[in-house]
Amino acid sequence: MIALNLSEPIWVQCEIGQCNESRGHYWLELVQQGENEEEIVAQAAAVIWARQYRKLRNELGPTFQQVLQEGMAVKLQVRVDFHERFGLKLMVEDIDPGYTMGKLALQRQEILDRLHKEQLLEVNARLLLPTVLQDIAVISSAKAAGYQDFVEQLKGNAYGYQYNLQFFPSAMQGAAVEKELLRQLKQIERRKSEFDAVVIIRGGGSRLDLQAFDNYELGKKIAELSLPVLIGIGHDIDETVMDRVAHQSLKTPTAVADFLIHHNENFEVKIQQLALQIQQGSFLQLREQNLKVERLAQSLQMAAQRTVQMERTRVETLHQQLKILVQIPIQAARQSLTELRSQIQLFDPEEAHKRGFISVTNEQGQIIRSVKSLKKEDTVQLHFSDGTRKAKIENNE
């Protein structure tokens, strides 16, 4: 009846409840959920025949497989088939990945709105990054190529920075992501004093692959983590919920490693700048002090020379004074001598002779002071200023 009524393929919107592959055929359980997410209001079995599956895979590429997952909201073009024995079956002829993407985007937006309402979006971003990032908790899948890229990029840093990485394995795609990531985040939170930051990384993936990261619980947990979270989950178009709540969202694990390196490099550069400033500052101060000392030395030299000059003048003055003063006692002595001599001269008989007096001596050379000592015929010497003459006394009276 239905098959007859719906001879043409129709588009249905539903959710994939289950998906099983058997010999290249894909058996789906399609469900429609009610207002309450747990409640299923409609359910139907569907199949993608192997031939159709290959055709769709060729048309849509890897997206097809990503859409074809349990829990995905899908828009399928189905042909209704009724078999007497197997009952009603929907045969999938086409699939609209755009619908799924839109649904996911909507779902993501709802989570973001809720986190925004709860003021959780910027909480982790407001955490201050430690000056140096060195002890890092890394959540990733050991299998993920991105993890190896990250480790190699860090190790190969040109500055020789050492990083202590602690690996916390977690599924990075599929249904297990929420549970495992939450568990590791909780464990890291308990050991928060050991780490500077948390890094969540994995290799590249398509938009649908990232669906697991559009998760409210994960978003809230990351937002409320007391360590800054750096995310590099390998995508380049949209941001997942996790990217929005993280401290730093980077495109790839390699970019996260570069971020860690540059962060530390900034610190080193800052230190180098400080060192340079200190060097320049001290150089300037030294030069200033040098100038001061030089000026002091100059004034000191001048003052010292002035002192010496003053002393020299003093000594010179004394010298001159001495030369003059020494004449005084000599002059004085000379003066007294002259006076003495003229006094003495007054008593000198020679002087009297010059003035016309003569003195008379007897033969013994004694001065004759009285006529009484002279007799007739005595010989005497007459002393003139220019010589002596003998004379004879002629009488007694």
Partner 1 sequence: MGPAKQKLKIMSKNNNSSYDDALQELQTIVQQLQDNQIPVDELSAKIKRAARLIEYCQEKLRSTEENIQELFTRS
For residue 316 the two structure tokens come to 């010179």
Q: CA–CA distance from 321 to each of 151, 312, 317 (Å)?
A: 98, 14, 6
Q: CA–CA distance from 158 to each of 132, 161, 312 (Å)?
A: 16, 8, 72
User: Of the ranges 107-115, 233-241, 256-264, 327-335, which one interacts with partner 1 (CB under 8 A)?
Assistant: 327-335
β-partners of residue 74 are 14
d(CA 113, CA 108): 9
Of the two residues 106 and 322, which places its CB atom closer to partner 1 in the complex? Answer: 322
Cα angle vertex 205, ends 203, 210, to 5°?
105
By CB under 8 A, is residue 314 in contact with partner 1? yes
Chain centroid, CA 158 distance in Å: 19
Q: How far apart are CB 326 and partner 1 at their closest, in Å?
A: 5
Is residue 247 within 8 Å of residue 224, measured between CB atoms? no
Is residue 55 within 8 Å of residue 61, measured between CB atoms? no
User: Of the ranges 108-116, 244-252, 323-331, 366-374, which one interacts with partner 1 (CB under 8 A)?
Assistant: 323-331
Of the two residues 304 and 391, which places its CB atom closer to partner 1 in the complex? Answer: 304
By CB under 8 A, is residue 315 in contact with partner 1? yes
Q: How far apart are CB 342 and partner 1 at their closest, in Å?
A: 20
By CB under 8 A, is residue 332 in contact with partner 1? yes
By CB under 8 A, is residue 160 in contact with partner 1? no
Of the two residues 319 and 355, which places its CB atom closer to partner 1 in the complex? Answer: 319
User: Of the ranges 191-199, 207-215, 272-280, 328-336, which one interacts with partner 1 (CB under 8 A)?
Assistant: 328-336
* Of positions 87, 156, 160, 329, contacts partner 1 by CB under 8 A: 329
Q: How far apart are CB 270 and partner 1 at their closest, in Å?
A: 39
User: Of the ranges 104-112, 179-187, 204-212, 310-318, which one interacts with partner 1 (CB under 8 A)?
Assistant: 310-318
Neighbours of 336 (CB within 10 A): 10
By CB under 8 A, is residue 339 in contact with partner 1? no
* Of positions 333, 344, 367, 371, contacts partner 1 by CB under 8 A: 333
User: Of the ranges 38-46, 122-130, 233-241, 313-321, which one interacts with partner 1 (CB under 8 A)?
Assistant: 313-321
By CB under 8 A, is residue 311 in contact with partner 1? yes
Per-residue contact flags (x/-) with partner 1 for residues 289 to 308, judged by CB under 8 A = --------xx-xx--xx--x
Is residue 218 within 8 Å of residue 241, measured between CB atoms? yes
For residue 168 the two structure tokens come to 């916390």
Q: How far apart are CB 315 and partner 1 at their closest, in Å?
A: 5
d(CA 47, CA 181): 33
Q: How far apart are CB 344 and partner 1 at their closest, in Å?
A: 19
* Of positions 143, 192, 292, 312, contacts partner 1 by CB under 8 A: 312
Token look-up 């000599």 returns: 330
For residue 186 the two structure tokens come to 């909780």
For residue 362 the two structure tokens come to 């007897």
Q: How far apart are CB 247 and partner 1 at their closest, in Å?
A: 59
User: Of the ranges 57-65, 108-116, 246-254, 322-330, which one interacts with partner 1 (CB under 8 A)?
Assistant: 322-330
d(CA 233, CA 214): 12
User: Packing angle between helix 145-155 and helix 253-325, nearest 10 degrees?
Assistant: 10
Of the two residues 83 and 319, which places its CB atom closer to partner 1 in the complex? Answer: 319
β-partners of residue 168 are 139
User: Packing angle between helix 216-224 and helix 177-190, nearest 10 degrees?
Assistant: 10
Per-residue contact flags (x/-) with partner 1 for residues 355 to 374, judged by CB under 8 A = --------------------
* Of positions 23, 83, 117, 319, contacts partner 1 by CB under 8 A: 319
d(CA 162, CA 260): 11
Helix and strand numbers (H, E) in the chain are 11, 13
By CB under 8 A, is residue 331 in contact with partner 1? no
Cα angle vertex 200, ends 196, 203, to 5°?
140
Tell me which residues touch partner 1 (CB under 8 A).
Answer: 297-298, 300-301, 304-305, 308, 311-312, 314-315, 318-319, 321-322, 325-326, 328-330, 332-333
